[in-house]
């Protein structure tokens, strides 16, 4: 496990930047972090709960949780689940793979990232 040397919240681009030394950095979109939240609301009790309609979600606050994690507050009200340094590093290193898996799971479930599309489907 490595600790980031710098953490920056970019509200305009809705990303969390993690820097590991001078040459290694990652930009994690808020939507990606939201759908991969370590909270029980997302992870369930051994069976993850598919998060839909999170396309426009942003991060409103980032706070340290002791010396081992970050507490992320999303603008959709979600603020439970602590992102440990180890978990954040895994999300950064596996971002492409995890995102592809998420998109495939959404498609298989016939769900959307767009919250407005979900409303339209309900109205049909």
* Helix/strand/coil (H/E/C) assignment for every residue in the chain: CCCCCEEEEECCCCEEEEEECCCEEEEEEHHHHHHCCCCHHHHCCCCCCCCCCCCCCCEEEEEEECCCEEEEEECCCCCCCEEEHHHHHHHHHCHHHHHHHHHHHHHHHCCCCCHHHHHHHHHC
**Average pLDDT of the residues in 74-92:** 96
Categorize the per-residue pLDDT at 37 as very low, low, confident or very high, splitting at 50, 70 and 90: very high
Q: Is the pLDDT of residue 61 over 80?
A: yes
**Which domains are present in the chain?**
6-123 (3.30.2020.30)
């Amino acid at each position: 496990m490595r600790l980031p040397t710098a953490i920056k919240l970019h509200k305009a681009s809705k990303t969390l930047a993690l820097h590991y030394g001078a040459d290694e950095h990652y930009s994690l979109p808020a939507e990606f972090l939201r759908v991969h939240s370590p909270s029980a609301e997302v992870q369930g009790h051994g069976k993850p709960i598919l998060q839909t309609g999170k396309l426009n979600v942003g991060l409103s606050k980032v706070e340290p949780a002791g010396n081992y994690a970050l507490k992320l507050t999303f603008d959709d009200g979600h603020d439970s689940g602590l992102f440990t340094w180890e978990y954040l590093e895994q999300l950064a290193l596996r971002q492409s793979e995890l995102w592809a898996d998420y998109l495939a799971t959404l498609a298989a479930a016939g769900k959307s990232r767009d919250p407005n599309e979900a409303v339209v489907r309900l109205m049909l």
